[in-house]
């Protein structure tokens, strides 16, 4: 970011013709590279499933569904190129909105904070358990031990230290707050899928997993009042990732996810850019 001195200079002088030309060239180059990357993601290497890269992150907007009313992000523009020579926003948001991580400290007294999660824990193999058909019929459904055993019969044993991701098809509802929360009114019970506590215990005990991830607002189902899955997972010094997308666009097994967690000071978690590669 610009130093105080460079900001002072930017405010006190007009942008030169040469600087404007350089800036325009940079924008053009950026657009060209962006177009190349986008085209590459649609190319044969991706569609044939040999190699792939997928963003699992929702864009953070002021209208993204929150877990509870009043937790929506807010932003304002504090500098513009026209007035200040640079563009900048100020955001006001909680750590647990949008695509984000729940660190152990989110539910566990003395648990590890966001900056204490190691890179080796945030770059892990992923498996995707699909319950979308059942979730379409029953929004209160959960991932069960039977689902995990069925996954292993088809795809092999869930690896140790992996992230187990739930694909419930819920990400498609992100543009409708009531549908995504599963409740038309703020005070009503939420209805969306999550991981069952029994399945979470089984994964920790028998597969020694590193993380759980979901395409909903919580690793617990919406109807949960005790947050058993949070307490079980975070109590085992593992972490959760919530509000993922594109889980139907990555392999059921064989992908690696990179969880770009922001290491907020004393963070109970925080926003993350989550990418999958295979």
Query: DSSP labels for 150-200?
Result: HHHHHH-PPPTTPEEEEE-SGGGGTT-HHHHHT-SSTTSPP---EE-HHHH
| Owning domain of residue 18 | 4-42
Structure tokens given for 8: 């002072």
Q: Residue 25: count other Cβ atoms within 10 Å of its Cβ.
A: 10
- CATH assignment of the domain containing 170: 3.50.30.50
Segment 260-266 mean pLDDT: 98
Q: Could you tell me whether strands 74-79 and 88-92 are parallel, antiparallel, or unpaired per DSSP bridges?
A: antiparallel
Q: What pLDDT score was predicted for residue 185?
A: 79
Asked if residue 219 belongs to a domain, the reply is: yes
Q: What pLDDT score was predicted for residue 50?
A: 66
Task: Quick: pLDDT tens for 217-240.
Answer: 999 999 999 999 999 999 999 999
Mean residue pLDDT of the chain comes to 87
Q: Are residues 10 and 144 in the same domain?
A: no
Asked if residue 64 belongs to a domain, the reply is: no
Task: Quick: pLDDT tens for 110-155.
Answer: 999 999 999 999 999 999 999 999 999 999 999 999 999 999 999 9
Does residue 167 have a pLDDT over 90?
yes
- Please give the Cα distance from 141 to 122 (Å, whole number): 28
Q: Are residues 130 and 264 in the same domain?
A: yes
Does residue 190 have a pLDDT over 70?
yes
Q: What pLDDT score was predicted for residue 224?
A: 97
Measured between alpha carbons, how far apart are the two ends of the chain, in Å? 33
Give the total number of structural domains in the chain: 2
Does residue 29 have a pLDDT over 50?
no
Q: Residue 171: count other Cβ atoms within 10 Å of its Cβ.
A: 20
Strand, helix or coil for residue 98: coil
Asked if residue 48 belongs to a domain, the reply is: no
Percent of the chain with pLDDT over 70: 82
Give Cα separations from 243 to 11, 60, 157 (angstroms): 39, 11, 25
Asked if residue 47 belongs to a domain, the reply is: no
Provide the pLDDT confidence category of residue 187 given band limits of 50, 70 and 90.
Answer: confident
- Cross-strand bridge partners of residue 258: 123, 275
Q: What pLDDT score was predicted for residue 164?
A: 99
């Amino acid at each position: 970011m610009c130093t105080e001195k460079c900001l002072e200079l930017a405010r006190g002088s007009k942008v030169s013709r040469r600087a404007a030309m350089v800036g325009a060239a940079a924008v053009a180059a950026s657009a060209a590279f962006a177009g190349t990357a986008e085209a590459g993601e649609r190319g044969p290497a991706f569609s044939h499933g040999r190699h792939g890269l997928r963003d699992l992150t929702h864009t953070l907007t002021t209208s993204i569904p929150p877990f509870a009313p009043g937790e929506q992000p807010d932003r304002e523009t504090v500098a513009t190129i026209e007035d200040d020579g640079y563009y900048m926003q100020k955001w006001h948001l909680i750590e647990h909105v949008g695509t984000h991580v729940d660190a152990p400290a989110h539910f566990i007294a003395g648990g590890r904070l966001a900056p204490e999660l190691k890179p080796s824990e945030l770059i892990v193999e992923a498996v995707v358990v699909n319950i979308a058909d059942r979730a379409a019929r029953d929004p209160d459904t959960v991932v069960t031990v039977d689902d995990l055993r069925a996954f292993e019969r088809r795809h092999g044993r869930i690896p140790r230290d992996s992230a187990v991701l739930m694909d419930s098809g819920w990400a498609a509802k992100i543009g409708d707050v009531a549908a995504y929360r599963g409740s038309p009114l703020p005070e009503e019970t939420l209805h969306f899928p999550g991981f069952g506590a029994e399945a979470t215990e089984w994964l920790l005990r028998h597969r020694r997993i590193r993380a759980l991830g979901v395409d909903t607002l919580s690793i617990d189902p919406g109807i949960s009042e005790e947050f058993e899955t949070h307490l079980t997972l975070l109590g085992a010094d593992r972490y959760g990732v919530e509000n993922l997308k594109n889980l139907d666009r990555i392999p059921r097994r064989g992908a690696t996810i990179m969880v770009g967690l922001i290491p907020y000071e004393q963070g109970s978690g925080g926003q993350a850019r989550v990418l999958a590669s295979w």
